[in-house]
Amino acid sequence: MIRYWQWLLAVATSASLFAAEKVFDLTQDKVGSVPAGWHSALIGGGKPADWQVILDQEAGLSGAPSIARRLAIAQLSTDPTDERFPLLIYDGDRYGDFTLRLRFKIVSGTAEQMAGVAFRLQDEENFYVVRASSRGSSFRFYRVYKGLRDAPIGPTIEVPKGVWHDLEIEAKGNKFRFKLAGSEPIPELTDSTFREGRVALWTKSDSVSCFTDLRLTYTPRVILARELVRETLQRYPRLLGLSIYSTTRQRPELHVVASRDEANLGRPGGDVERAVIAKNLPYAGKATKRYLVTMPLHDVNGDAIAAVRFELQTRFGMSDQNAVAQALLMVKRMETRVTTLAELTE
């Protein structure tokens, strides 16, 4: 019989595996500098953006005296170029399912007065945006895909400048919800283009805007290669060993990215694994009481992007051909989940 405290511990442990929180603390950043862990980018033309940590006198809670001060992130450049979109991109993890809460204030702007968030950002030509406009009295969502911007979705709504507004963005699977000051001006939206990506602060043209109190609750991403190992071992419990060799952007040489034995993670690939990928052919060999089979694993285009090493129990009459056939069934099941190398290893 499970005691109540044991049950609570199990629930808490389980929950910790599926939820995490990131509070963006600016107290260690120097005022006047770009916050640590972020980098500035610019989409479109015009001069570079000017992102800085500032000490804002009005960033306190509603009703706080004007002398109250709080650290905030501000975009201060005032280049009025029309198609100019300053971004401040967070360099940390990529997020799939998350809820981001923050406060923003639109300070000024002649051509535009906007503030927003880009999320599930792949690169500077592929991402989602939700933004508010004081000058245009609007709250909009749109997708940028291969550099082209979709028609914005959202209502006409007053967004006073010089005032702090609460914004909440929730992304779950292909469903998105947005709250502005506690209300939900845009109905729940569905889009399946981007499954995960980075988050970034966003402005347009000469908008001077500030952001503070950023808090992100998210489901930690599981590297797909490791999930494939877990699923395969669960389906085929008699496997004696299983490892996936591939490359990552941080480590371009072939190495173990997922394994039944976590002590193998990071170990370099050998001649067999490199040959299996280069020649796109399987390798099989018999060892003591086991068969070692290494198979190429392909992306959605049919390119070999990894080598999967299976350690199979030997059976009476088992041959190289039998072992390869058995491993092929397992690797084909893996390939139904794999689209790209980045998706496999990052």
pLDDT digits (tens, 9 = 90+) for 81-130: 999 999 999 998 889 999 999 999 999 999 999 999 999 999 999 999 99
pLDDT beyond 60 at 66 = no
> What pLDDT does 315 receive?
83
Domain 19-218 and domain 224-345, same fold? Reply is no
SS3 for the chain, per residue?
CCCHHHHHHHHHHHHHHHCEEEECCCCCCCCCCCCCCEEEEEEECCCCCCEEEEEECCCCCCCCCCCCCEEEEEECCCCCCCCEEEEEEECCCCECCEEEEEEEEEEECCCCCEEEEEEEEEECCEEEEEEEECCCCEEEEEEEECCEECCCECCECCCCCCCCEEEEEEEECCEEEEEECCEEEEEEEECCCCCCEEEEEECCCCCEEEEEEEEEEECCCCCHHHHHHHHHHHHCCCCCEEEEEECCCCCCCCEEEEECCHHHCCCECCHHHHHHHHHCCCEEEEECCEEEEEEEEECCCCCEEEEEEEEEECCCCCCHHHHHHHHHHHHHHHHCCCCCHHHHHC
Between CA 343 and CA 113 the distance in angstroms is 37
151-181 as b/e: b if 16+ CB within 10 A: eeebeebebebeebbebbbbbeeeebebbbe
Predicted TM-score (pTM) of this structure: 0.66
Task: Round the average pLDDT of the chain to a whole number and report it.
Answer: 90
Q: What is the mean pLDDT of residues 205-226?
A: 93
Pick the CATH number of 224-345 from 3.30.9.80, 3.30.450.40, 1.10.287.980, 1.10.10.60: 3.30.450.40
> What pLDDT does 28 receive?
92
State how far the alpha carbon of 187 is from the alpha carbons of 136, 155, 176, 179, 218, in Å.
20, 10, 9, 10, 22
**Order of strands, edge to edge, in the sheet holding 255-259?**
255-259, 241-246, 304-313, 290-298, 283-287
> What pLDDT does 18 receive?
61
- Alpha carbon 81 to chain centroid distance? 30
Q: What is the mean pLDDT of residues 130-149?
A: 97
pLDDT beyond 80 at 221 = no
- Grade residue 316 by pLDDT with cuts at 50, 70 and 90: confident
**In CATH terms, is domain 19-218 a member of 3.30.2020.10?**
no
> What pLDDT does 5 receive?
37
Q: What is the mean pLDDT of residues 324-337?
A: 95
Supply 198's token pair. 């980075």
Residue ranges covered by each domain of the chain:
19-218, 224-345
> What pLDDT does 137 receive?
97
pLDDT tens for residues 149-201? Answer: 999 999 999 999 999 999 999 999 999 999 999 999 999 999 999 988 999 99
Between CA 200 and CA 3 the distance in angstroms is 45
Lowest mean pLDDT among 126-130, 285-289, 304-308: 285-289
Between CA 135 and CA 137 the distance in angstroms is 6
**Order of strands, edge to edge, in the sheet holding 114-123?**
38-44, 84-90, 198-202, 114-123, 126-133, 138-145, 148-149
Percent of the chain clearing pLDDT 70 (strictly above): 92
pLDDT beyond 90 at 146 = yes
pLDDT beyond 90 at 11 = no
Phi–psi pair at 274, nearest 5 degrees: -65, -40
Amino acid identity at 275: A
> What pLDDT does 16 receive?
41
- Grade residue 67 by pLDDT with cuts at 50, 70 and 90: low
User: Would the CA dihedral through 249, 255, 257, 263 be positive or negative?
Assistant: negative
